[in-house]
Amino acid sequence: MARQTLKMFYPISIKNIRKLKAGDLIEYTGQVLLADETTVDKYRTYERLEGTPFYNLSRELILFCTPSEGRLSSDSVKIDLDDLEYLFMSGITATVGLNVEEEEITALYKRFSRVNLSLCNRTSLYPVDLNEPVPDEVECGMSISLKDVLLYVDISSRGTKFGSEEDG
């Protein structure tokens, strides 16, 4: 049976995130924050040194990616448990492009009622506005607008991983 594709727009509420099941297809239009393996450390360092967050992460989606030849490449990235907890405590609604294999990390998605999304059938993204340059490197607070990008729920807010026997 084919799954229905849900249309979602920025900003996505936590209430809507909690309704998603592992394997749900989403057609997303809106802003995503860009991140790489060093971004979370930079956010944390700034907050520790300045006593205030660098950027309001509340209700944001964060896309883990690397700039490559005028596009953003979304290769699966692994994340430290403490870094993911920091993002959720800072208000991130969903992550995109994380490689989640450890049960402790899956449990964190359940604890905070958040989801991990993955790109369907592609590994590269381009900005909606072709005049918007793709950065040479990812920096804190940098975002990009996407239009009609097809994503699937890899980890649900209940901690269910897509492809497990518990998919609903």
pTM over 0.95: no
Q: Coil, helix or strand for 84?
A: helix
The domains located in the chain, with CATH, are: 5-155 (3.20.130.10)
pLDDT 10s digits, 71-125: 677 767 788 899 999 999 999 999 998 888 889 999 999 999 999 998 886 666 6
Nearest to 33 by CA among 12, 10, 61: 61
Nearest to 26 by CA among 16, 36, 35: 16
Tell the residue number behind the tokens 């609903």, with chain if given: 168
User: Do residues 156 and 20 touch, judged by C-beta distance below 8 A?
Assistant: yes
pLDDT 10s digits, 142-152: 888 888 889 99
Q: Coil, helix or strand for 1?
A: coil
Tell the residue number behind the tokens 């790489």, with chain if given: 36
pLDDT 10s digits, 12-35: 999 999 999 999 999 999 999 988
Question: Is the C-alpha dihedral spanning 114, 159, 117, 100 positive or negative?
Answer: positive
Cβ neighbours of residue 120 closer than 8 Å, sequence gap 6 or more: 25, 150, 151, 152
pLDDT of residue 142: 81
